[in-house]
Chains A and B, each alone.
Chain A
Amino acid sequence: MSSRAPAILVLEDGRVFRGEAFGSVGETFGEAVFSTGMTGYQETLTDPSYYGQVVAQTAPQIGNTGWNDEDDESRRIWVAGYVVRDASRVSSNWRAKRGLEDELASQGVVGICEVDTRALTRHLRDKGAMRVGISSRTTDAEELLAKVRNTPQMAGANHVGAVTASEPYTYEAKGVQKYTVAAIDLGIKRNTPRRLAERGITTTVFPAYADVDAVLADAPDAVFLSNGPGDPATADHQVELTRELLRRRVPVFGICFGNQILGRALGLETYKLKFGHRGINQPVLDRHTNKIEITAHNHGFALKAPEVSEGQSGEFFETEFGRVQVSHVCLNDDVVEGLTCLDAPAYSVQYHPEAAGGPHDADYLFDRLVELIESTKGAKADA
């Protein structure tokens, strides 16, 4: 423990936290956010939605189960930096292949440990997410602060291009293929095609800027809009694509970033949350069933609730694609967590039904995709 180099973490408002180097030694910058999941750090680190963010883990003991070959949610670690209280020096799990710190170091991820992560979290909760720098090269806070203030803001950032696949690829259905889905990779996690495959769906994953003809070339049964990093206000291409899909009545299912894209396609605006929802214990009410699901979240932006009258947000609203329902809301803060088009074959949620990490309560949303595909096919057959 004592052999670690000193490290500092400096927030753009000047608050400084001191700790020790963890992972790669160096310097890194990004948006400081905190994640409250007590399990699933490997999934968190490899979730492309965290691109450009320095993630502070509120759970204090990190690294206990090491790093295995199965739980990566994408091809690499995406976080810009990693902040933990106590980093485990040993791995104890039957699947562990190596230690967390080895993995961070080999992927060049700069981290810091021995930090009062609770104080950092409280600060971000009160002051909002902000830019941050971590350095294990210098202990001069002033020097680092100047650099932090020179880095770009998350608001207005377009990060999709950095994380998306360069070429399309296909993930086969498990067993007999019943349906095909085209997924727009805005930062997709591996567990999404896996959950689709369980239902007999073959998924073709397209780069984020694929055009509508490419996406619909093989006449998929539905299009999936994935999660992803950055400001949804910059995703004009995908919004336009979605509007086209709505016009053509292609079934659409969006999650996270994809929810914001569908919302924008329907005419809603997005805004930046003060400190976001990042964790695996967020209660969401499904207005279809009136049941509560405990869900995995990772979003710093959200859809502005539609106004039905002056200052009154409502459950139902009119769009050029017909009536839409705010079908899911977060019970903690009433943030819009899902939309269902009542006159078009499209729905979306702001959170992660594929979980990984997190509870599986929202897995039913993939069944709804199957139902949507079936009913759309039925409707077409009837017509």
Chain B
Amino acid sequence: MPKRDDLKHILVIGSGPIQIGQACEFDYSGTQACRVLREEGLRVTLVNSNPATIMTDPEFADATYVEPITTEVIEQIIAKEKPDAILATLGGQTALNAAVGLHDAGILDKYGVELIGADMDAIQRGEDRQQFKQVVLDVGGEVPRSAVCHTMDEVRDTVKDLGLPVVIRPSFTMGGLGSGMAHTWEDVDRIAGNGLAESPTTEVLIEESVLGWKEYELELMRDRNDNVVVVCSIENVDPMGVHTGDSVTVAPSMTLTDREYQHMRDVGIAILREVGVDTGGCNIQFAIDPATGRMIVIEMNPRVSRSSALASKATGFPIAKIAAKLAIGYTLDEIPNDITKATPAAFEPTLDYVVVKVPRFTFEKFPGADPTLTTTMKSVGEAMSLGRTFQQALQKALRSTETKAAGFWTRPDPAGATLENTLEALRTAHDGTLYTAERALRFGATVAQVHDACKIDPWFLDQVAQLIELRDEIEAAAVADAALLRRAKRAGFSDAQLAALRPELAGEDGVRRLRHRLGMRPVYKTVDTCAAEFEAHTPYHYSTYEEETEVAPSNRPKVMILGSGPNRIGQGIEFDYSCVHAVQALREVGYETIMVNCNPETVSTDYDTADRLYFEPLTFEDVTEVFHAEHESGRAAGGPGVIGVVVQLGGQTPLGLAERLQDAGLPIVGTSPKAIDNAEDRGVFGRLLGELGLVAPDGGTATSYEEAREVAERIGYPVLVRPSYVLGGRGMEIVYDEDTLAGYISRATEASPEHPVLIDRFLDDAIEIDVDCLCDGEDFYLGGIMEHIEEAGVHSGDSSCALPPITLGARVIEQIRDYTAKLAFGIGVRGLMNVQYALKDEQLYVLEANPRASRTVPFVSKATAVPLAKAAARIALGAKIGELRAEGMLLPEGDGSDAGPEVPISVKEVLLPFKRFRTVEGSGIDAVLGPEMKSTGEVMGIDSSFGLAFAKATLAVYGKLPTSGNVFVSVADRDKRAIVFPVRRLVDLGFTVYATEGTGLVLKRHGIDFTPVARHSSGEAVDAVSLIASGEVDLVITTPSASPGPRTDGWEIRSAAVVADVSCVTTIQGAAAATQAIESASRGEIRVASLQELHKRLRGAERAAAV
């Protein structure tokens, strides 16, 4: 069936800011969808509030709305654009929920817009637990057995029937209150007894537990001719009970016979048909009882999911792209397989390699959060690896995650680890369960013992045991000969791991030299969807140690771009955006681009993005081997080989390798690693500032409390303290007094002469400013100046900001431009640089300068219509700013420092993940902002005034902005004066004020009435925390007092707001901005505009001025 000819214009809904559980995989799928739809000649309108996405680049849609994904806003877009249909199955849960919202509000009917992909009934059948359960039963599948009970006798009979353990859920209690897992009869009596008492209908649901069962997923596709294919099976190494996003997963499934697999396939296909997803992808999860093979259906996603992205990368079958084609009417047999070109997409990929995905956690960012892995996803990113065997893929994946341990045996065992406590630790799923399982096996536990403790399938445990046996052999061998070395490499051992096991080999470098002397280098195989049955035309490669390499010779000049690895807080999609831009810009001018990355969620690892894709860990060894393979094959073909390696765009990961790569002879282009280092070296950078006549806050270093106290006394409190050996704000604190300083130093046990603590004067109440710029060595271009809304001291990645700056005068802006240019030339920048300033008492302080792509590059690029990362990549390869101005990539004249009054305001706001985490006791965690970055994603709001732009940004993050109701206010003493004006505005807008005594008194004296609320520590029955928990408060304004930390009143208030999901503002500047936003929103002035309109205004105006 060919394409439908009644569809001319599609509205694609994106997934908004990056959050835990919904990361850049939806940029990957959305980008593919937009590209496909436009190739098919359809008009594409896109809404997505996340500026750091490739899909929101103006060239991917006809009209791109960087606007909040809310019902009201999308209605405006529909009214303006009049699309024929909406595609909401490629933007994650956010887009699907938006579609449901539009349907419920009657907007789809009102404008006659069709939902394509999955219709409303299918979405509901797939998403509603009760309806879905019925679907499964209707097609002959199984769901967990359960029964509703009204008495303890019924409960006991049911439990006898189901067998322990069971899950007990009281009916109709708030938020699942009283639910629990009963492992013993005592548990049953206690939980069910309480549950019956608490349930208003005196009933509890007793459900069979599938905890510890094997967990699988299938990715399926269906077309409108009812053809269905299974794209991929995924097996979770972690058993049921750990969210699949937090599990180590493997593709294809490893421990299913054909009978079991085909049964799963049959049930999966039947469910897909019964749910009625018309076209596109879906994901179904299954659990299998390892003892009996009984299979249960857990849930489905009637849309493209995180696992779909993983499956696409794992198989080479581009699910989102195909889903978009199916949505507009094509059938699977009409769509060619990109990789073979000769065969159609109507087939099931078969793999001749093993794929392992490992999640990446950042628990260290959230002190107090319970690190136990549960059914709530907590990881912030993932790394994927391909190998010819599970062992190889696993070891590559472990070193791809860039945790402290780079694979087994690269870190000492934890102090005091014994077989007993290691086995005990395995009983609770945690970050690094496989490391713990390895330790248990190495300490002498049997596979059966370890399986008993953690329920990981014995096959996987035996694979780990085999690695340990090989490790022992390597350690015990008289000499590490070629045969042994080769076996180790085939099993995925890195040079660094081998060096740790054989100290006489003189470290990783020694192992590498030995290996090269023996001629032992990896070969590169191809991901081709068909296990080599047909020829592949897409150079998507992974390394292994075997006989034959498949790197095609090419004589074109090649450039390698190193990606950013797994997403982490502080290193996310923004860096992938810059890498993709570099690829695009360099491809366009004729370079053969080579992408190296290991993050399956990203656009950069789409085989369509670069000319060649290497799905490899970003380690020194893996990168240098890719370079060698590409360089040598290029030279052998008579070309120049690899002429440049770009490391400045992928964030800290590639930067950390830069110097070693350069020393190993790789041609690092752009700003030199030495210059990057100099900017980070406190001493060298301080001297440079002196030479340039620029000022930094006073500071010093200390290796003991005494020294720290002296430095702090000299420069005056408050001070900003941090360890010298970390980046990204890790371990940074603002200290207001001597006692807190003593506490900090005692906690920073690693302070030593090699690792001093850095102490800087903290500029209280200063305005923080971020600048992105370009420099080619001769010429300088200022990209944009961002004024932070929160004061200095909040990590720049967590601070909202405005571009152009909203309060800075012309003189300051001129000074910023002048300072930044001096720094760029002084440091020797050849590409991008980000500088952070603080402005206090008319003095501009340089906080730091980072000569590389920053997190703000996509935001600035979208706000100013200038692709900074593309320009940086070109400059790195020798282009001049003048040239890029002439080409039209940069403005022909002027730059980001001269924004006129007609330029709209862009606001960046961040999304914080506090809601995801709970303490071990189950309460919320602190939601305060500080010098350590905690946000996972960002949004952009664009409008003519700051208030409107900020309102949009707030809407984009929270989905709501209270315009009336109750506001609770409790601020620190230093903020009491500044809070009066915003609260008065809120009262004028109709808010009722609740306040704690101190804050209330100040308000009262300014004529503002308030209802007093007791502090939490007062012991009163109704206090601030219970008021917030009751849901009666619509907005919380609370700023932290001098001593942040658990169990203070402020901590309790903020965590209560997190739990109750109430908007919570924690800075005084934030309160002022929120007030402006509420004011704008309540006037109903929010209007939508596309990025294309905006850019036409910006660039059109510039061009007009230039003429």
Mark each residue of chain A from 115 to 149: 1 if its CB lies under 8 Å from any CB of chain B, else 0: 01111011001000000000000000000000000
**A60:B333 contact, CB within 8 angstroms:** no
Q: Which residues of B, 880-906, contact A by the 8 Å Cβ criterion?
A: none
Is there a chain A Cβ closer than 8 Å to B229's Cβ? yes
A291-B351 Cα distance, complex, nearest whole Å = 25
Chain A residue, CB-CB nearest to B266: A360
Residues of B near A280 (CB, < 8 A) are 258, 348, 350
Is there a chain B Cβ closer than 8 Å to A153's Cβ? no
**B262:A60 contact, CB within 8 angstroms:** no
Is there a chain B Cβ closer than 8 Å to A238's Cβ? no
**A331:B346 contact, CB within 8 angstroms:** yes
Binds A, one of B279-287, B531-539, B975-983, B1033-1041: B531-539
Neighbour of A283 across the interface among B292, B333, B389, B470, CB < 8 A: B333
B376 CB to nearest chain A CB (Å): 29
Is there a chain A Cβ closer than 8 Å to B254's Cβ? yes
Is there a chain A Cβ closer than 8 Å to B457's Cβ? yes
Mark each residue of chain A from 50 to 62: 1 if its CB lies under 8 Å from any CB of chain B, else 0: 0000000011110
Neighbour of A118 across the interface among B225, B226, B265, B525, CB < 8 A: B525
Is there a chain A Cβ closer than 8 Å to B344's Cβ? yes
**B227:A292 contact, CB within 8 angstroms:** yes
Chain B residue, CB-CB nearest to A277: B533
Mark each residue of chain B from 210 to 247: 1 if its CB lies under 8 Å from any CB of chain A, else 0: 00000000000000011101100000000000000000
Binds B, one of A88-96, A172-180, A337-345: A88-96
A15 CB to nearest chain B CB (Å): 10
**A356:B258 contact, CB within 8 angstroms:** yes
Q: Which residues of A, 241-267, contact B by the 8 Å Cβ criterion?
A: none
B829 CB to nearest chain A CB (Å): 45
**B347:A36 contact, CB within 8 angstroms:** no
Residues of A near B458 (CB, < 8 A) are 90, 92
Is there a chain B Cβ closer than 8 Å to A37's Cβ? yes
Is there a chain B Cβ closer than 8 Å to A220's Cβ? no
Binds B, one of A39-47, A160-168, A224-232, A315-323: A39-47
Neighbour of B342 across the interface among A40, A70, A332, CB < 8 A: A332
Also in contact, A65 and B532, with CB within 8 A (given A116-B547, A331-B344, A360-B266):
no
Residues of A near B534 (CB, < 8 A) are 125, 332
Neighbour of B353 across the interface among A60, A68, A121, A358, CB < 8 A: A60
Is there a chain B Cβ closer than 8 Å to A199's Cβ? no
Residues of B near A38 (CB, < 8 A) are 252, 350-351
A90 CB to nearest chain B CB (Å): 5
A53 CB to nearest chain B CB (Å): 16
Residues of B near A281 (CB, < 8 A) are 347-350, 530
A244-B619 Cα distance, complex, nearest whole Å = 70
Residues of A near B262 (CB, < 8 A) are 39, 355, 357-360
Count of inter-chain pairs, beta carbons less than 8 A? 171
A283-B525 Cα distance, complex, nearest whole Å = 25
**A60:B388 contact, CB within 8 angstroms:** yes
A337 CB to nearest chain B CB (Å): 14
Also in contact, A1 and B466, with CB within 8 A (given A36-B350, A119-B548, A281-B349):
yes
Q: Which residues of B, 249-280, contact A by the 8 Å Cβ criterion?
A: 252-262, 265-266
Neighbour of B261 across the interface among A39, A117, A118, CB < 8 A: A39
Q: How many of chain B's residues have a CB under 8 angstroms from any CB in A?
A: 59
A6 CB to nearest chain B CB (Å): 11
Residues of A near B707 (CB, < 8 A) are none
Residues of B near A121 (CB, < 8 A) are 352, 531-533
**B388:A42 contact, CB within 8 angstroms:** no
Is there a chain A Cβ closer than 8 Å to B332's Cβ? yes
A195 CB to nearest chain B CB (Å): 13
B759 CB to nearest chain A CB (Å): 55
Residues of A near B959 (CB, < 8 A) are none
**B350:A283 contact, CB within 8 angstroms:** no
Is there a chain A Cβ closer than 8 Å to B128's Cβ? no
**A58:B350 contact, CB within 8 angstroms:** yes
Residues of A near B258 (CB, < 8 A) are 37, 39-40, 42-43, 71, 280, 356-358
Is there a chain B Cβ closer than 8 Å to A279's Cβ? yes
A72-B478 Cα distance, complex, nearest whole Å = 46
**B254:A294 contact, CB within 8 angstroms:** no
Task: Tell which of A58, A118, A119, A280 has the most Cβ of chain B within 10 Å.
Answer: A118
Is there a chain A Cβ closer than 8 Å to B343's Cβ? yes
Mark each residue of chain A from 340 to 356: 1 if its CB lies under 8 Å from any CB of chain B, else 0: 00000000000000011
Is there a chain A Cβ closer than 8 Å to B390's Cβ? yes
**B389:A61 contact, CB within 8 angstroms:** yes
**B533:A39 contact, CB within 8 angstroms:** no
**A285:B333 contact, CB within 8 angstroms:** yes
Is there a chain A Cβ closer than 8 Å to B928's Cβ? no
Residues of B near A117 (CB, < 8 A) are 352
Also in contact, A283 and B265, with CB within 8 A (given A90-B458, A92-B458, A118-B388):
no
**A71:B533 contact, CB within 8 angstroms:** no
Also in contact, A118 and B343, with CB within 8 A (given A65-B257, A279-B533, A294-B229):
no
Q: How many of chain A's residues have a CB under 8 angstroms from any CB in B?
A: 55
A259 CB to nearest chain B CB (Å): 21
**A118:B350 contact, CB within 8 angstroms:** no
**B255:A71 contact, CB within 8 angstroms:** no
Q: Which residues of A, 54-87, contact B by the 8 Å Cβ criterion?
A: 58-61, 64-65, 68, 70-71, 85-86
A58-B532 Cα distance, complex, nearest whole Å = 8
Residues of A near B531 (CB, < 8 A) are 34, 36, 58-59, 118, 121, 279
Mark each residue of chain B from 447 to 462: 1 if its CB lies under 8 Å from any CB of chain A, else 0: 1000000000111001
Residues of B near A89 (CB, < 8 A) are 462, 466
A355-B447 Cα distance, complex, nearest whole Å = 35
A279-B258 Cα distance, complex, nearest whole Å = 12
**B462:A68 contact, CB within 8 angstroms:** no
Chain A residue, CB-CB nearest to B390: A61
Is there a chain A Cβ closer than 8 Å to B1100's Cβ? no
Is there a chain A Cβ closer than 8 Å to B487's Cβ? yes
Neighbour of A331 across the interface among B226, B260, B343, B353, CB < 8 A: B343
Neighbour of B255 across the interface among A64, A291, A358, CB < 8 A: A64
A71-B352 Cα distance, complex, nearest whole Å = 23
**B255:A92 contact, CB within 8 angstroms:** yes
Chain B residue, CB-CB nearest to A356: B258
Is there a chain A Cβ closer than 8 Å to B690's Cβ? no
Residues of A near B266 (CB, < 8 A) are 360
Also in contact, A94 and B548, with CB within 8 A (given A71-B257, A85-B388, A360-B262):
no
Neighbour of B487 across the interface among A1, A61, A292, CB < 8 A: A1
Residues of B near A71 (CB, < 8 A) are 257-259
Chain B residue, CB-CB nearest to A124: B532
Is there a chain A Cβ closer than 8 Å to B140's Cβ? no
A250 CB to nearest chain B CB (Å): 32
Task: Tell which of A1, A17, A37, A64 has the most Cβ of chain B within 10 Å.
Answer: A64
A88-B257 Cα distance, complex, nearest whole Å = 14
Residues of B near A357 (CB, < 8 A) are 258, 262
Chain B residue, CB-CB nearest to A282: B347
Task: Tell which of A85, A88, A292, A331 has the most Cβ of chain B within 10 Å.
Answer: A292
Chain B residue, CB-CB nearest to A278: B533
Residues of A near B252 (CB, < 8 A) are 38, 59
Q: What are 26 A-B interface contacts by the 8 Å CB criterion?
A: A36-B350, A39-B258, A60-B353, A60-B354, A61-B390, A64-B255, A65-B255, A70-B259, A86-B390, A92-B255, A93-B255, A93-B293, A94-B293, A116-B546, A116-B547, A118-B546, A125-B533, A281-B347, A283-B346, A292-B227, A294-B229, A331-B343, A331-B344, A331-B346, A332-B534, A357-B262
Which B residues fall within an 8 A CB radius of A? Answer: 225-227, 229-230, 252-262, 265-266, 290-293, 331-333, 342-344, 346-354, 388-390, 447, 457-459, 462, 466, 470, 473, 487, 525, 530-535, 546-548
A-B complex: 6 closest residue pairs judged by Cβ atoms: A40-B258, A357-B258, A92-B459, A58-B531, A119-B548, A39-B258
Beyond the given pairs A118-B532, A281-B347, A332-B344, 9 more chain A to chain B contacts, judged by CB atoms under 8 angstroms and listed by A's residue number, are A36-B352, A37-B258, A38-B351, A39-B253, A71-B259, A86-B388, A283-B344, A291-B227, A292-B227
